[in-house]
Amino acid sequence: MTSKTPKHVWAVDNKAPATLDYALAYAKLGWYVLPVWSVDDHGQCRCGRPNTEKGHKAGKHPQSELVPHGHQDATIDEQVIRDWWATDPDAGIGISLADSGLLALDIDPQNGGVDSLAQLEAEHGVMHSDCTAVTQGGGEHRLFTADDEMTYPGTLGKGLDLKHHGYICVAPTLGPSGDYKWQQGRSPLSQTRPAKPSPLPQLIASKARPPVNYSLTERGGVPVATAQTFDDLRSALKHVDADDYTTWVNVGMVLKPYGENGYKIWTEWASTSDKFDASAQRRKWERDISTPHSITYRSIFRMAIDNGWAGNSNQVPPQAATTPDGKPEVHPLSLKNSVASGAGEVNVFEYVYEDFMSTGVNVVAGAPGVGKTTLIVPMALATAHLCPHDYTLKPAVRRNVIIITESVVQVQRVIYSLYSWGYTGMQTRDFDERVRVINAQRLDPKIVAQVAEEYKEWTVDNEKADGTYHAALPLVVFDTANAVFDLENENDNAEVGRAMAYIKQAFATFPIIIVSHTAKALGSSESDFLSPRGASAWTGDAQGVYTVFKDGEHQDAPRVLKATKVRFPTAFAELTFDLVSNKEQHKDVLGYDKEIWFSHSVARPLKPGERTQMKEDRKEQKEQEQWSKICDDIIDLVRKDAGKSRSYYERLPVAQGGVKASQERKERAVTSLLNDGSLERIELEKPQGRANHYLRVNEEVVAAIERGKFGI
């Protein structure tokens, strides 16, 4: 193996040091070192696997021939380090963080890390570290001192990861996108002013959790596993981050001794991540995962407990509640709280949209980018009768609308589009009186529920048939669940179930729409598995569940809203949407004129068989467009390369300027153009070679056809 001179600036005066020198220098700082694969001169991972292989951390993963247990084998032992780099001088360097008393804030600019950091620092102060590295992708690793026994959350936001019980790569390691290096003046290896990791910022320190002991019986060094153990593991893994690569590998190592039972549990847990790939999972299990020497499934329980898992500890039964005067309080499920059987009278549903969506908690799920906000907001405003008079979904009961959203500007633009081009017949004051748009804040569901008392006061009186009035509660839209409800683990049924219970109890009889994302792995098209991302309690505890998807593979394919779970017969199971788009000139933030697009959607029920017919129509339209293009291209070719025979135009290769289509289709196109008169066949007085004719364009006929096509 050939050694590649690192690009990092070293503090030694004479020659550039070898990677071994760096590794020994880090070890002298008390930083636990491990070798990683790094990349070759062509940027390819030296392990031999393709960089593009799913789940492959090219250049960054541990050199498994030297450290089979990854960062668990990291050391500060000088002789071990010398042996490692004597075996593989080109290996890169990783630092095991918790062992070294470190925590790294990983800022990824490609995933929005810079913007997320700016928002956090504006609210909580600058998270500065004197010891900071530049990553291969142009991001940052800010190093802080941290207690190795403490546990921290895996992320602070989009593009901001906290790395503690894992490792990072350091200079002079090479990655596919570049090299790892220390920022100017912030290198711990400087001989003049070596930088030291800064203390933890208050925001991160406040999220630290102490360890919890959890002991299990072992047999031969491996904990005994029973059916109950596997149930416990499934429960515990709901509190463990499945997105983190190192955690994913470690969990696999823990479960390897238990064969296919272990693999099944590993896969069930890993599949909750958007990064899950079934084939990569099986390859990892069979090829790379080995039985660990120092970690057992106690490690899983420890991680889970640190993240809030309650384990299987016995709890004291709750005592019966009492009233202030000491008398037993009536149990919520007591017979004294029973209602009539319903045999003697009919209680009807209160609908948000007649025979399609009722009051109660409704969940609307769709893939990111499918256009949920553009579709849902106009539907929501229809409940306030801010819609055309003849709008199909206009409900009988009018109510006010509260939209709690992560994108206020987007919602405002949709409402502006509806007001300007939606033929509602309403004035701006009507919108302002009936709609409230609120910027979303991530809050504990219990705190979210507290606002229901205020919302209950904002009702609309609807006159009933007997002359009395029905006070309609407002429609509340939470867009999205992730932006409003602060859940530690959205895959935990118990936690999501508690959140739903708070909302259902506080907002009883309210119409509620919770907008949720579906898993990215499911795509944006229709699927039998399309459902809200995370725990099944989102759907199990909801009054109604609806999914939004594209009815086709193309970006402009029609969107469909489908009722997948309701508690009453629906008049129609699916809605489709017609998109209305317009642009106007407005001032930008600097006061300059700029054209801005505005869009809103108009929902309408799908008739039986209409989706199939729409697909057939789109297919036929696409075929017609392709056919028209072939005919137009042939006419253009005859114009540009005039005087040739029919077979010349039909057989001319694309590389030489011919029309892109099969010869059979080109032959049919020429026949069609001759039949309608767009092309003329001119016989030669004297054959030229094999040709006894040539084709030419009849411009008058072509022009006449164009005028007819566009109704001119």
Residue 312: is its pLDDT beyond 60?
no
Q: What was the pLDDT predicted at 216?
A: 39
Residue 413: is its pLDDT beyond 90?
yes
Q: What was the pLDDT predicted at 217?
A: 39
Residue predicted with more confidence, 582 or 137: 582
In sign, the C-alpha dihedral spanning 90, 92, 96, 102 is positive
Interval 3-24 mean pLDDT:
63
Note the pLDDT tens digit of each residue in 22-56: 999 999 999 999 999 999 989 999 998 898 886 68
| Strand residues in 22-175 grouped as ranges (E) | 32-36, 92-96, 102-107, 132-134, 140-145, 155-157, 160-163, 167-170, 174-175
Residue 7: is its pLDDT beyond 50?
no
Q: What was the pLDDT predicted at 44?
A: 93
- Using 50, 70 and 90 to split pLDDT, how confident is the model at 633? very high
In sign, the C-alpha dihedral spanning 4, 5, 9, 15 is positive
Interval 130-159 mean pLDDT:
90
The C-alpha atoms of residue 37 and residue 41 are separated, in whole angstroms, by 13
Residue 466: is its pLDDT beyond 80?
yes
Note the pLDDT tens digit of each residue in 197-222: 999 999 999 888 765 444 333 444 45
Q: Which pair of structure tokens corresponds to residue 605?
A: 């029920």
Note the pLDDT tens digit of each residue in 377-398: 999 999 999 999 999 999 999 9
- Using 50, 70 and 90 to split pLDDT, how confident is the model at 522? low
- Using 50, 70 and 90 to split pLDDT, how confident is the model at 291? low
Interval 494-509 mean pLDDT:
88
Q: What was the pLDDT predicted at 257?
A: 80
Q: What was the pLDDT predicted at 224?
A: 56
In order, the DSSP letters of 525-556 are B--TT--BSS-THHHHT-SEEEEEEESSSSTT
Q: What was the pLDDT predicted at 523?
A: 53
What are the residue ranges of helices labelled H in 564-641? Answer: 610-640
**32-36 and 160-163: which strand pairing?**
unpaired
Note the pLDDT tens digit of each residue in 612-629: 777 777 778 888 889 999
Residue 463: is its pLDDT beyond 80?
yes
Q: What was the pLDDT predicted at 210?
A: 67
Q: What was the pLDDT predicted at 260?
A: 78
Any idea which of 305-319, 354-368, 602-616 has the lowest mean pLDDT? 305-319
Residue 326 Rama label (left phi>0; alpha psi -120 to 50; beta): left
pTM of the full predicted structure? Answer: 0.48
Residue predicted with more confidence, 489 or 597: 597
Q: What was the pLDDT predicted at 218?
A: 41
The mean predicted confidence, pLDDT, of the chain is 85
Percent of the chain past pLDDT 70, that is, above it, reads 87
The C-alpha atoms of residue 419 and residue 560 are separated, in whole angstroms, by 23
Note the pLDDT tens digit of each residue in 638-669: 999 998 999 999 999 999 999 999 999 999 99
Tell me which range, 327-336, 346-355, 413-422, is most confidently predicted by mean pLDDT: 413-422
Note the pLDDT tens digit of each residue in 339-348: 888 888 888 8
Q: What was the pLDDT predicted at 338?
A: 86
Tell the CATH topology of 612-709. Arc Repressor Mutant, subunit A (1.10.10)
Query: Check: CATH 3.60.20.10 for 351-606?
Result: no
Domain assignments of the chain as residue spans, ordered by start: 19-205, 218-306, 351-606, 612-709
The C-alpha atoms of residue 437 and residue 455 are separated, in whole angstroms, by 13
- Using 50, 70 and 90 to split pLDDT, how confident is the model at 557? confident
| Residue (of 26, 124, 119) closest to 76 by Cα position | 26
In order, the DSSP letters of 361-402 are EEEEEE-TTS-HHHHHHHHHHHTTT-S-TT-TT--SS---EE
